[in-house]
Structure 1
Amino acid sequence: MRHRPVNPYGITFWQRPAIPLLLAFAAGIFWARFWPLPAVWMLLAALTGFGLLVLYLCLFLSRCSLSRSFFFSCFLPILCFIAVGHLTGLQVHGPEREALRLAAFAMDDTVEVTGRIHGLPRPRHGRTQSHLTRVEIRRDSGEMIFLEGRLMFTLVGEGEMPLPGSLVHFKGKIRPFDNFENPGGFNYRRFQHGRGIMGRIWSRDRDLEILDTEPVNIVPRVDRFRLFLGEKIRSCVQDVDAGAVLSAMLIGDRGHVTPALREAYTKSGIAHLMAISGLHVGLLAGAVFWLTERLLRWFRFFTERGLTRRVAALPALVIALSYAMISGGAPSALRAVVMVACGLWVLVMHRSTDVWSLLVLAAGLLLAADPERLVNVGFLLSVTAVAGLILGFQRYPQSFAGAKGFRVKAFLWLKGLFKTSFFAALFTAPICLYVFREVSLIGIAVNLVMVPLMGMLTLPLAMSGLFLSLFFRTGEVILQMAGVLTSWGNGLAEFTGSLPFAVLQPGALTLLEVFIFFGFILLWLGFDSKKGWHRSRVILALFLVLLLTGDILRWTFSRMGPGSPVVTMLDVGQGSAAGIRLPGGAVMLVDGGGFPWPDSMDTGRIILSPWLDFQKIRTIDVLVASHPHADHIKGFFHLAERYRVKELWIAEAALEESMGQELVAAFRERGTLIRHPSMEKDPIEIKGTMFEFFGPGELRFSKVNDESLVFRMQTPHGSMLFTGDAERMAENHYAKTHGNALASDVLLVGHHGSRTSTQASFLQVVNPSLALISCGIRNRYRYPSVEVLRRLEASGIKVFRTDTGGAVTLDFREEGIGAGHTPIGRWDRLW
């Protein structure tokens, strides 16, 4: 039989049926995640489809008069794999149901919890975090449930977290995971459920009872070994940061890497060096295979039978699997182990295959085992990076054949390293822009230095040193040498990461834009260049250009602003932040939220920036700082680093506080105009919307809260009064001074609904029809107070709260003010 010649580049995807089948399988999982259909329907569809395929195959093999059909050979298999993927993807909803069951059982009561410590501890300021598995929860009434999943466990105090596998008992309140419900925001609750974590609980170290310290299976024993290795690494390396990075590189423990150092590696485009990947597994498995194969050559029994390579594959596979366990099951390590295992199996069986088949098989097996990996960033980056390297090197092959001389070989080696960095960065860029909303611009150049230093010199040295340190003191010396090299690498990462042009921050991509990005890459690398622009390539190019044009036009019109003023009261927890978009494209932010603790979440990075990037906003016309308290302005500091801000409005009284001074200094350095509006100055008009300030004026109050900026936004179709944290004294003053001039359609309730604000006299002169309250879920202040809620209800005012429904959006239209909650949407950022 005459075979069709294979494309020399091997890049026509339709010649590898496994690739479209894997994409169909992934599409089914994705479909089930967002629009689940009944399992019975999908099972029936899959069985029917595979039954038809078997029947067609039997008829075809029996040489019946049956022509090759597109439906049976192409379309039907894809539909079958979509159905199978959908069935597999339905598993992702199980953790959500289990979390609801847990919340219904535990409610808000104190319960007794018994469980085993799982995973490596993550030390934080005054506390240590780990997880509990095999959890048994008991109420005071004697009711008990066993949790299918894990609990996030925080130990408060200076005591050490018990060893992994230890059985512990304590009392506490189980809290569900709370989202910051904002349009385009990150679904933290679903992220944790996808990891199998159903809730969170904490205990003080003095209240924790250790019932048993013996592990019950292999997993905690491996975790204890990882803990031992991590302590050995950090004890041998004098530089704390270098020891933390080596722990991440060797055993996958990133809990000791500081956020600043992690950010430096990310901005430099070398964060992959801290992840256990194919390089680690390949080095270890390759070294074991090479040494074992050379050793077996000394034995005639193996050489005469040609068994040296086949036998050497076994210990290499065992070592690769063992290292995957030590790495903590990192997605990149699992992908590499599956590919290595399949490659070694092919070697043992004397079969032939290619790297595409290995990658597809690895990705398919990992998705089948855990469909939640489809949205796992580590898994996606690992798979796309390898796919990029395969496509890139098949399109532009690298060969050392015929190369003579050190200079020529060195040039070819650097050329290969450059292409490796370029293609890996190119294929991971869309995912980085989608998830992190930024991509490194200097990553390719930095990798030319850091990959040889950290990947080819430090990593083998550290791996050999760690292994030898288990038996000889010489290994500790080698680890110290690796630590010195890692310190150099950390210094380079911090320097390059601090460069002003290190990172491109164009905003968040939608899923449609990610597919357009990959489509253009495929248009370049996915077709045989010798065949030129054939019909399928032209059709794909026209389709991509059409999609891109429509996407650009859509966002261009969107950035011109809404037809009427829109205010979005963002959910920032126990704080306040409101985004205002005006016709013509002007953007304002009134306060930015924040938390007062030094290691607390940065609302600017986690909430404000995603909301702005979600709408492709890069320039902010005005930031309004009501008063210099952390829960109102701490989030603004991140915006100073990432966006162009034209003006900052802040009261002169705020400059008497250190945080107010720091905020003004941060923006003044970047050329932002600083304004101090007050009641004595003229109102400010922006795009047809007037901002009139009622306070603070020349009269000063004794409290910082009372010095809050109080102003009204007057639109052509309604008004809104912002009061910051103004309390009783300031409200009484403004009510007497301005009276009915304060009247507004919407009131942002002062001080998050505290009983010290929103007095009856003030409410009477404002006379709003709508009220917004910005506060955190189950906040420790118990805001909003019952008194304020009763007062608003008695006045017939409709209330919207961020703690009960997420972000609130107001649209000041001609026909009236539209109001409603706009939390995270299921289809956010799809297009």
Structure 2
Amino acid sequence: MRFSSISFWKRPAIPLLLAFAAGIFWARFWPLPAFGVQIASLTGLTLLALSFRSPRSLFFSCLLPLLCLLAVGHLTGLQVHGPDRQAGRLVSFVQNDTVEVTGRIHGLPKPRYGRTQSHLTQVEVRRYSGEMMSVEGRLVFTLVGEGEVPLPGSLVRFTGKVRPFDNFENPGGFDYRRFQHGRGIMGRVWCRYRDLEVLDAEPAGLVPKVDRFRFFLGEKIRSAVQDRDAGAVLSAMLIGDRSHVTPALREAYTKSGIAHLMAISGLHVGLLAGGIFWLTERFLRWFRFFTERGLTRRVAAFPALVTALSYAMISGGAPSALRAVVMVACGLWVLVMRRRTDVWSLLILAAALLLATEPERLVNVGYLLSITAVAGLILGFQRYPQSFSGVRDVHASALLWLKGLFKTSLFAALFTAPICLYVFREVSLIGMAVNLVMVPLMGMLTLPLAMAGLFLSLFFRTGERFLQLAGVLTSWGNGLAECASSLPFAVLRPGALTLLEVTILYGFLLLWLGFDKKKGWQRPRVALALFLVLLLAGDTLRWTLARMGPDSPVVTILDVGQGSAAGIRLPGGGVMLVDGGGFPWPDSMDTGRSILSPWLDFQKIRTIDVLVASHPHADHVRGFFYLAERYRVKELWIAEAALQETMGQELVSAFRERGTRIRHPSMEKDPLELKGAVFEFFGPGSMRFSSVNDDSLVFRMQTPHGSMLFTGDAERRAESYYAKTHGNALASDVLLVGHHGSRTSTQASFLHAVNPSLALISCGVRNRYRYPSVEVLRRLEASGVRVFRTDTGGAVTLVFKEETIKAGHTPIGIWDRLW
């Protein structure tokens, strides 16, 4: 098999693939009627077939094929709306009632702090009335408590409530609901071990049997390796099971730029398929029948192909593994058929097949990173070839090998960086250096050793020793990753990129690697360079002006679930955050990482003027800890009473270590000013309350166009005291309702003193406290106050205009983020 080197610009399949992907993208956001698109695609394909008998024009040779692929892609992409409709039907059927659920355990169980999470497939939901519904998809299934985990493929039955996925609806946020629906997961359900009934412990079908075999392999790996973290990483490398990798270790690999080592990719598939091919081909050389007919390589391709396909199933269907398997399978088939091909054709075919089978992969990060990394390697090595021919000296070969490894890391890192910056808002700066050590250690030494050990352990106990040795090497690699990730310059965080900026970056990469100086491409190259420079200049100017702040104050009450967080943008570039949300459980979502940071990065904000901590409870300040390590924070405002609590002390210590100025505002001190806004504090003062909630900071933001009162979690005693002490001085246009709308807050006397026209309530969807209280809502309605709640419409944005205060919900926008 020979792979020809064909220029990127001479591959007609590339624009066709892009047109196909554009059709899927179009269907994702602006779906057209399927019947009309079918007619258009059939008409186009018919014209294209008829055009082969006539002279080819520009329209028939270029535009019509692109239009046809665009239409076919649109038809394919219409599939992405099916899960949304199915999830809607499921929600309408269960109606928040307790139902009987029957289904089979799917996938490997994931242990999490006294809980075990997996998926249910072949699900049937039955209401008490006897009505039954079959779910076309999966459910996230969580078992609570301690007990024996049902093996994959087991048929189980229990009663519970099927819940839909809830988004945190914020500008620039992550559309978690659509992400899960795209994976074919319709909702979530949980039960306790004692309430679970196993109807059939035997797996039915090939996929459950493969899952059970993967579970068996994972247990064997982790039992053979004493180091828990090393066993978890080896499970990820060998069978694609990352559920046992701790978040801290996963973050260390990401910061070090070596997260790809835990993903099953072309290296794994290549090692297996290449090894089987080499062994089989050498074995067949002993038989004259095969050697005389030149069949050794062609016959050896079949067991290699079977091995690659089998490993793809064992890997759990990771996009990088599937891409590698498709490329290897196509390459081996070309070898069998004695044809010629090139790597561009194999990559495009793999990308198109994966998209056609699952259109939602267009926004799958693993799929995009895998495709762009391989494309970068192809372009890079076509531009700067690497050859060992004629090199006899050992030292020269070693240096050339290191040079090739460096170029591999460089090209892969450069082509995956725009996607990492768009999705994760950060990229590793030390990845190329760390890869020079970790790829030989983990990819070329540990991985083959672990593969051999895992295979041998199925038949001999000697294989466990190989796994133990691989575990020792993996422990060294984990230690190196943790050390490298702790470096202060390990990660670059420029903020979230837009799709335009991603396009500009890839344009510059193509400008560098996509043109051959020897083939007269200077004019197109100069034209592309000028176009990219103009785009970059316009984009830079736009963000420079936007960073100077809005024309008038803007307050966004962020949707952080059962908590509180408000972002304030002031004219002149002032940025404040009042509280940061958070959850008290050890394995809960970090609102700083998942909500505050995306909102800041979405606006290219790296410096925060002021953080205000109303009081040291987790649902108000835990999200601030993440910001302490990743943003420059000038000042932290926190009450002196908060320092009596452990969380308050930890918060102050975390920011003081990074040079943040700590202020303790109170009613006895002068108001504070920032960018034309005045902050007057009404409490707490010298008087202390017995409750941490009552000791919350209560202050008013006064702007030239209106005022807003923040009350934290102040309750009845504090409100009564402030109403008596300050009276009408509390009057404000907007009130952030205290304690998330609890009946212990927003008393009539306090509400009368504030006399707001707008009230905002920050609370979680279906929260266990049942906030906001019906009493509070009735009280606000009786006072003629307009109410906006984060649990019913997501984030709320207020714009303080000269004439009025504009208020409205601002959930995730269609173009905010695609992930």
Structure 2 residue 17 is the aligned partner of structure 1 residue 22: yes
Give the Cα–Cα distance (whole angstroms) in 2 for the partners of residues 259 and 288 of structure 1: 35
Give the Cα–Cα distance (whole angstroms) in 2 for the partners of residues 830 and 30 of structure 1: 10
- Mapping of 1:624-773 within 5 angstroms? 624-773=612-761
1:392 maps to a residue whose letter is G
Contact 1:391/1:525, CA 8 A, preserved across alignment: yes
Contact 1:614/1:829, CA 8 A, preserved across alignment: no
Give the Cα–Cα distance (whole angstroms) in 1 for the partners of residues 737 and 787 of structure 2: 10
Structure 2 residue 423 is the aligned partner of structure 1 residue 435: yes
Aligned residues: 817
Give the Cα–Cα distance (whole angstroms) in 1 for the partners of residues 5 and 455 of structure 2: 41
**Which of 454, 457, 468 is the equivalent residue of 2:456?**
468
The match for 1:35 is 30
Contact 1:509/1:829, CA 8 A, preserved across alignment: no
The match for 2:488 is 500
The match for 1:185 is 173
Contact 1:12/1:528, CA 8 A, preserved across alignment: no
**Which of 40, 48, 71 is the equivalent residue of 1:83?**
71
1:49 maps to a residue whose letter is G
Structure 2 residue 218 is the aligned partner of structure 1 residue 230: yes
Pairwise CA distance, 1:104: 0.3
Give the Cα–Cα distance (whole angstroms) in 2 for the partners of residues 377 and 19 of structure 1: 20
Pairwise CA distance, 1:9: 6.0
Q: SS where residue 403 of structure 1 aligns?
A: coil
Task: Map Cα deviations across residues 61-107 of structure 1 (whole Å, 9 max, x no partner).
Answer: xxxxx3x3111101110011001000000000000000000000011
Give the Cα–Cα distance (whole angstroms) in 2 for the partners of residues 592 and 768 of structure 1: 24
The match for 2:566 is 578
The match for 1:357 is 345
Structure 1, unpaired ranges of 5+? 1-6, 60-65
2:566 maps to a residue whose letter is A
The match for 1:250 is 238
The match for 2:258 is 270
- What percentage of residue pairs aligned between the two structures are identical? 83
Structure 2 residue 47 is the aligned partner of structure 1 residue 52: yes
The match for 2:500 is 512
The match for 1:135 is 123
CA RMSD of aligned residues (A): 1.1
Give the Cα–Cα distance (whole angstroms) in 2 for the partners of residues 586 and 246 of structure 1: 47
Pairwise CA distance, 1:528: 1.3
Give the Cα–Cα distance (whole angstroms) in 2 for the partners of residues 83 and 577 of structure 1: 44
Give the Cα–Cα distance (whole angstroms) in 2 for the partners of residues 544 and 39 of structure 1: 36
The match for 2:140 is 152
Pairwise CA distance, 1:549: 1.0
The match for 1:208 is 196
Give the Cα–Cα distance (whole angstroms) in 2 for the partners of residues 245 and 433 of structure 1: 25
Contact 2:4/2:342, CA 8 A, preserved across alignment: no
Q: SS where residue 706 of structure 1 aligns?
A: coil
The match for 1:305 is 293
Contact 2:4/2:340, CA 8 A, preserved across alignment: no
Structure 2, unpaired ranges of 5+? none
Structure 2 residue 541 is the aligned partner of structure 1 residue 556: no
TM-score by length of 2: 0.99
Contact 1:776/1:803, CA 8 A, preserved across alignment: yes
Give the Cα–Cα distance (whole angstroms) in 2 for the partners of residues 221 and 827 of structure 1: 41
Contact 2:743/2:775, CA 8 A, preserved across alignment: yes
2:654 maps to a residue whose letter is A
Contact 1:466/1:479, CA 8 A, preserved across alignment: yes
Pairwise CA distance, 1:161: 2.1
- Mapping of 1:379-390 within 5 angstroms? 379-390=367-378
**Which of 6, 11, 18 is the equivalent residue of 1:10?**
6
Pairwise CA distance, 1:747: 0.2
Give the Cα–Cα distance (whole angstroms) in 2 for the partners of residues 224 and 88 of structure 1: 32
The match for 1:779 is 767
Task: Map Cα deviations across residues 86-129 of structure 1 (whole Å, 9 max, x no partner).
Answer: 00000000000000000000111000000000000000001000
Larger displacement relative to structure 2 (401-410 or 766-775): 401-410
Give the Cα–Cα distance (whole angstroms) in 2 for the partners of residues 739 and 449 of structure 1: 68
Pairwise CA distance, 1:473: 1.1
Give the Cα–Cα distance (whole angstroms) in 2 for the partners of residues 793 and 536 of structure 1: 65
Give the Cα–Cα distance (whole angstroms) in 2 for the partners of residues 830 and 478 of structure 1: 43
1:40 maps to a residue whose letter is F
Structure 2 residue 448 is the aligned partner of structure 1 residue 453: no
Pairwise CA distance, 1:546: 1.3
Pairwise CA distance, 1:44: 1.3
Give the Cα–Cα distance (whole angstroms) in 2 for the partners of residues 529 and 477 of structure 1: 53
Give the Cα–Cα distance (whole angstroms) in 2 for the partners of residues 531 and 660 of structure 1: 66
Pairwise CA distance, 1:532: 5.3
1:27 maps to a residue whose letter is A
Q: SS where residue 248 of structure 2 aligns?
A: helix
Contact 1:165/1:220, CA 8 A, preserved across alignment: yes
Contact 1:119/1:164, CA 8 A, preserved across alignment: yes
Give the Cα–Cα distance (whole angstroms) in 2 for the partners of residues 116 and 790 of structure 1: 46
Contact 1:576/1:774, CA 8 A, preserved across alignment: yes
Q: SS where residue 787 of structure 1 aligns?
A: helix
Give the Cα–Cα distance (whole angstroms) in 1 for the partners of residues 204 and 458 of structure 2: 25
